[in-house]
Amino acid sequence: MSAHYTATAKALHWCIAVLIFGMLGLGFYMTGLDLSPTKLQLYSWHKWAGVTVFVLGLLRLVWRLGHPPPALPQHMGALERFAARAGHLTLYVLMFAIPLSGWLMSSAKGVQTVWFGVLPLPDLLARDKALGDLLQTVHLSLNFLLMAVLAAHVGAALKHHFIDRDDVLTRMLRRRPD
């Protein structure tokens, strides 16, 4: 097991991080707009970027299987280790579950998802208003869960850096010293 993240793992982590923070902002902003061409455009962009997160998430997962992350620092207790693993697992699950719920919601609302306006994703659900509304609630709830876990994730990274003064944050940031 290497003591470092690969450059690919770091690139994927930060790409997805930027996309997810952007998506949270975009998601809440666009739903509050009155219907307009801009709103429709933002919805499409939201879907395209969301599917991109899903695809990058898949790449990331596959990469991780071949390139295990560095070990957690020695000073962490059993509870901290458990919390870290559970938090990371939840983030991975949400990375897929949120786009998936969005895609299914779109289908149920009768709007096919066409990635970048070019690649149509199959509609796994038929148009069904009640189901669409339910999936919208699911999408929203998963996003609230995401925000809570992200707050803990960012908080933990800062605690590692400023209080524990270990390399947990810097090893995800710095180029590998060689």
Partner 1 sequence: MKRSALALLSTLAFASSAAQAVEYNHVLAEQSQIAFGYQQMGVSMEGGFKRFSSQLRFDPAAPDAARAMIEVDLASVDTGSAEGDEELARKTWFNTPDFPSARFESTRVNALGGNQYEVAGTLTIKGTTRDVVVPATFTVAGDAGVFEGSLNIQRGDFSIGEGAWKAFDIVANDVVIRFRITAVAK
Q: Which residues lie near partner 1 (CB under 8 A)?
A: 35-38, 40-41, 44, 109-114, 116-118, 127, 129
Residue 47 makes contact with ligand HEM by CB under 6 A: yes
Q: Is 51 in the site for ligand HEM (CB under 6 A)?
A: yes
Shortest distance, position 18 Cβ to partner 1, whole Å:
23
Shorter beta-carbon distance to ligand HEM: residue 106 or 168: 106
Residue 53 makes contact with ligand HEM by CB under 6 A? yes
Q: How far apart are CA 12 and CA 7, in angstroms?
A: 9
- Closer to ligand HEM by CB, 20 or 168: give it: 20
- Cα distances (Å, whole numbers) of residue 79 to 75, 76, 93, 158, 165: 12, 8, 21, 18, 19
Contact status, residue 140 vs residue 106, Cβ threshold 8 Å: no
The rounded distance, in Å, linking the Cα atoms of 157 and 161 is 6
What element of type H or E holds 114? strand 114-115
> How many angstroms separate the CA atoms of 67 and 1, rounded?
8
What residues make contact with ligand HEM under the rule CB under 6 A? 20, 23-24, 27-28, 31, 43, 46-47, 50-51, 53, 98-99, 102-103, 105-106, 113, 136, 139-140, 143
